[in-house]
Structure 1
Amino acid sequence: MLKLPKMLTSFNFLSSNLIRSCSSDTIFALSSGQGKCGVAVIRISGTNSGNALKLVTNLSDLPKPRTAVLRSILHPKTHEILDKGLILWFPGPKSFTGEDSFELQVHGGLAVINAVFDALSSIPKLRLAEPGEFTKRAFHNAKLDLTEVEGLADLLQAETEIQRKQAFLQTQGSLSNLYNKWKKELIKCVASVEAHIDFDETDTLEQNLIQEVMEIVRKLCNEIENHLSNGHKGEILRNGVKTVILGEPNAGKSSLLNILCKRPAAIVTPIEGTTRDILEVTLNIGGYPLVLADTAGLRSQTQDVVEKEGISRALKLYKKSDLVLLVVDAEKYITWKTKNVDKTLITYVKEYIKTLHLDSLLNDCNTENFERLFTKQCLVILNKTDLKNDENFNVRDEVVVPVSCKTEDGITNLVQTISKRLKVLCGEPSQDHPSMNQQRHRQHLTDCLNSLNLFLKYSHYTNQPDISPDLVLLAEHLRKALRHLGKLVGTVTTDNLLDIIFKDFCIGK
């Protein structure tokens, strides 16, 4: 039987770096929404929960776990009945926080909630919870790992169906299961290399041990590379698809924004240069979050200082965008077409983009295929088609969408086309193929991959009899890779990181 290597014994960050000590205080907070409501849920968690429950209900024994009981809620000091509601008892560790907990479901009036809070505050060692403290205790008590905590935060912030789906899958361990699988494989690799260091050649060890580790590491590298190669789909879905409407003045950009958000968000006039600053709205398109920005019309000849600043801001926003809606005036296109009968719409769009000083949007000026024309996701919206009823605007290419912002013809098709682009940009969350949605995930996985590649680079020397590889150095590369995976799920963490992750949690969660 193989003994545990000495170096692996000292390499015990998987548990020692995780501080599980929580405050001895018992905390309480309103877990339902603020303001008047039919039912208010007040959550209590901590070592003194059982005693607090008895004091506010006058029960001699704790109720049956996870069973709703109707009781009068009393003030522990005055014994005045404050309200009548349901109580649920959750003894640890089978609770959300892993501690003894209970919930009070009382009427949602502000006076009732304040009276119950006053009653709970009168009990020794009970205090109001800090933002995210219930979830933080669940993390410290190993009820959730760090990716599941982040998923829970995203679930609370989700505004669209696809955001909800991605966040919920993450709370159910879609990411942590994958990362923990990689972590377990790396732990075995570290153990094997350190065993090779600890044991003499006379000891019984499997032949080609290092070669077997190399094969496992190669497989891990491929899996991590594939995981990283999905772009930033999860991050884009989490934060919303940054979409910018671009075009010349009076092309119909603001009208398009108003139609898509179904309200007069932007001022629309026949005067060129009406839009100066960035106007941003968030929309739900097919379950995907679209952060849509209207911008100043792009033109080079203007003496208006304010308009120049608006154009500068539009160009800066374009560089950060995920999707471009390029609005083209159909009337001007038809006028151009009468003079250039032998030329195509794609030629006009190329010239149009150059006049807007958006050359960086062009990927291949020689192509006659719209799909290959752009450096980023872009839809060409041919507006004002109602002014040229004799012209056939049935463009089959899904990059070009004819519409009329005046009659709203083609808007349904535009929304469907945008929805398809959003699916390409964000992907479709699934349990089998989870997407990372945090920049820190990408950074730690990239650092992990770099350490694994260094291991593979130096481990090749094991096949050369005249060179002795430094096994201690190889083990260190694996330990660094393992440490980054530990930071992903939270087995290696810092108070600063936890503060950043929990800062957006509300009180009561």
Structure 2
Amino acid sequence: MARALPQPRRASLRRLYDPQSGEELDQALVLWFPGPASATGEDLAELHLHGGRAVVAAIETALGNVKGLRPATAGEFTQRALMNGRIDLTQAEGLGELLSAETEAARRAAVHASEGGIRKKVEQWNDRLLNVSASVEAELDHSDEEDVAAVIGSGLSYRRDCIALAEELERALASPSVERLNEGIRIVLAGPPNSGKSSLINAMTGRDVAIVSAIAGTTRDRIEMAVTRRGYSYILTDTAGLATKTDDPIEAIGIERARQALDAADAILWLGDENPDIASDASIILIHARCDEPERDATPDDRTPVSSKTGAGLSVLWEKIEELASRHIPAESAVFFNERQRRLITEWKNRLEAAAQEEDLLLVGEQLRLARSLCDQITGRAGVEAMLGDIFARFCIGK
């Protein structure tokens, strides 16, 4: 016989029975969350079962026989919370990013987003935008009234406000995307043939990922290895030696791919004794490789001595890499945006810049109106139906 529901939000120990056969299935903790004060905004019950597969399967079968019940689809609870106004779209995306976080930096960013950090930042920007819009609309509607004209004249101009907000959006876009937190910092090992690149990547990863040989030109293609260290993710890339000239067509392809890797690098570990001739915006750490060899015991002042054989200097090298990583991906950054949000913020910035260039106040007002609609798209108040399926398809079942 069915008993009364437990008190809301208080765990109660109950026996669970099959509603058709009456068979006892488990003794479990039951929690009852009446809507709208629940995670989804709807009536919600949680069953905390014993973890055996047979127990879970029996409960699922019994629930499946109850009319009106069905298994939840991927992300359905979060989607219901979004549709019922319990969370906004940035929080839903933050939960999805938390499920896929692979580094400490990604986890922190996802938790911040899921707790409303992105929404709060976007709403701060939107409040400033609304103030500018209100000023422009007031001037359009009441410019002939002396008291309104005096208020407008004593305030900040719309151009200055638009430019200031656009510059703040630009600074936000300068931070890496959420996706980048998991992809990692791209570290490329480069230098002439036989300079010790393959030995160094093996020492840094603790695995024999690259073939090491005294024969110059052993590495013909890029070798990549993912490493996670102290909350940062890295992609280490071993490249073919940058020979000044080669008649080997395979080696030439390897050199070209090495240069492509250098172009995309965030940081370069240069193992050549000569200074690198590389046109790149990446940070460069000059390595004095094979410092354990007697003829190489003198280290130039601008070089970091490293021995792949003895491990000498590896900890110092990692400290320098981590210092670079902290500049590329600040460990305590306030807000990281995903690619969808960054695309909308970029368009928002462009609208503000266009408004600042306009002379006709009607056109200024239209640009600001379009900018406000972009804010609504970021938080999910408008124009999100088409993307919901793609967002929640990445969630686990139910969540």
TM norm structure 2: 0.88
2:366 to 461, 469, 476: 476
Measured after TM superposition, the shift of residue 407 of structure 1 is: 0.6
Instruction: Provide the C-alpha distance between the structure 1 equivalents of 2:34 and 2:220, rounded to a whole number of angstroms.
Output: 59
**Secondary structure class of the residue paired with 2:122:** helix
Compared CA separation, residues 479 and 86, structure 1 to 2 (3 A) = same
Aligned to 1:88: 31
2:85 is matched by which residue type in structure 1? A
User: 2:268: which partner in 1?
Assistant: 324
Q: Residue 408 of structure 1: CA displacement? A: 0.6
Confirm or deny that 1:417 pairs with 2:312.
Answer: no
The count of residues paired between Structure 1 and Structure 2 equals 397
Q: Is the 8 A contact 1:84 1:106 kept in 2?
A: yes
Please state whether the residue corresponding to 1:492 is helix, strand or coil. Answer: coil
d(CA) in 1 for partners of 2:222 and 2:167?
Answer: 37
Pair 1:486 & 2:372 matched:
no
Seen in structure 2, the aligned counterparts of structure 1 residues 296 and 59 have a Cα distance that, compared at 3 Å, is farther
User: Which position in structure 1 is the counterpart of 2:49?
Assistant: 106
- Trace 1:83-482 onto structure 2 (pairs within 5 A): 83-198=26-141, 201=144, 206-208=148-150, 210-211=152-153, 215=157, 218-219=160-161, 221-229=163-171, 231-235=174-178, 236-299=180-243, 301-328=245-272, 333=273, 348-349=274-275, 353-354=276-277, 359-361=278-280, 375-388=281-294, 391-393=297-299, 395=301, 397=302, 400-430=303-333, 434-459=334-359, 469=360, 471-482=361-372
Report if aligned partners of 1:154, 1:238 keep a CA contact under 8 Å in 2: no
Q: Retained in 1: the 8 A contact 2:101–2:107?
A: yes
User: How far does residue 73 in structure 1 lie from its aligned partner after superposition?
Assistant: 2.6
Contact 1:183-1:486 at 8 Å conserved across structures:
no
1:76 paired residue number? 19
CA contact (8 A) 1:221 1:453 kept: yes
Measured after TM superposition, the shift of residue 499 of structure 1 is 3.2
Which residue does the alignment assign to 2:385? 495
Q: Which amino acid aligns with 1:88?
A: L
Q: Shift of the alpha carbon at 1:497?
A: 2.7
Change (3 A) 1:390 1:480: closer
State the TM-score, normalized to the length of structure 1: 0.71
The CA deviation at 1:279 is 2.7
Question: What is the aligned partner in structure 2 of residue 62 from structure 1?
Answer: 5
Determine the C-alpha separation between the residues in 1 that align with 2:2 and 2:23: 15
Partner of 1:4: none
Q: What are structure 1's unaligned runs of at least 5 residues?
A: 1-57, 334-347, 362-374, 460-468
Q: Which moved more, 1:164-173 or 1:204-213?
A: 204-213
Shift of 1:405: 0.2
Alpha-carbon distance in structure 2 between the residues aligned to 1:360 and 1:380: 15
In the alignment, the residues of structure 2 paired with residue 130 and residue 217 of structure 1 have an alpha-carbon distance, to the nearest angstrom, of 48
**Shift in Å, 1:391:** 3.1
- Give the SS at the match of 2:49: strand
Q: Structure 1 residues 282 and 402 mapped into 2: Cα distance closer, same or farther (>3 Å)?
A: same
Q: 1:311 and 1:390 mapped to 2: Cα distance? A: 27
Q: Which residue identity lines up with residue 402 of structure 1 in the other structure? A: P
Shift of 1:61: 2.1
Contact 1:91 1:99 in 2 (8 A): yes
Q: Are 2:138 and 2:148, in contact at CA under 8 Å, matched by a contact in 1?
A: no
The offset of 1:426, in angstroms, is 0.8
Secondary structure, aligned partner of 2:47? strand
Structure 1 residue matching 2:46: 3-state secondary structure: strand
Question: Per-residue deviation at 1:265?
Answer: 2.7
Cα distance change of structure 1 residues 407 and 501 upon mapping to structure 2, 3 Å threshold: same
Instruction: Among all aligned residue pairs of Structure 1 and Structure 2, give the percentage whose two residues are the same amino acid.
Output: 36
> What's the RMSD between the two structures over aligned residues?
2.7
Output the amino acid matched with 1:292. Answer: L
- 1-structure distance, mates of 2:259, 2:321: 21
Q: CA deviation at 1:441?
A: 2.8
Unmatched segments (≥5 aa) in structure 2: none
1:416-437 C-alpha deviation (Å, 9 max, x unpaired): 111111001112324xxx2333
State the 4+ residue runs in structure 1 displaced beyond 4 angstroms: 195-202, 209-214, 300-306
Q: Is the 8 A contact 1:227 1:435 kept in 2?
A: no
Q: Counterpart of 2:22 in 1: which secondary structure?
A: coil
Distance change >3 Å, CA 312–CA 72, structure 1 → 2: farther
Contact 1:234 1:426 in 2 (8 A): no
Q: Is the CA contact (8 Å cut-off) linking 2:139 and 2:148 kept in structure 1?
A: no
In the TM superposition, residue 402 of structure 1 has moved relative to its aligned partner by: 1.2
8 Å Cα contact 2:290/2:296 also seen in 1: no
By how many angstroms is 1:195 displaced?
4.8
Partner amino acid for 1:108?
G
SS of 2:227's equivalent? Answer: strand
Q: Is the 8 A contact 2:142 2:148 kept in 1?
A: no
State the distance in 2 between where 1:227 and 1:201 align.
34
**Residue 436 of structure 1 contacts residue 442 of structure 1 at CA under 8 Å; is this kept in 2?**
no
Does the aligned pair in 2 maintain the 1:153–1:505 contact within 8 Å?
yes
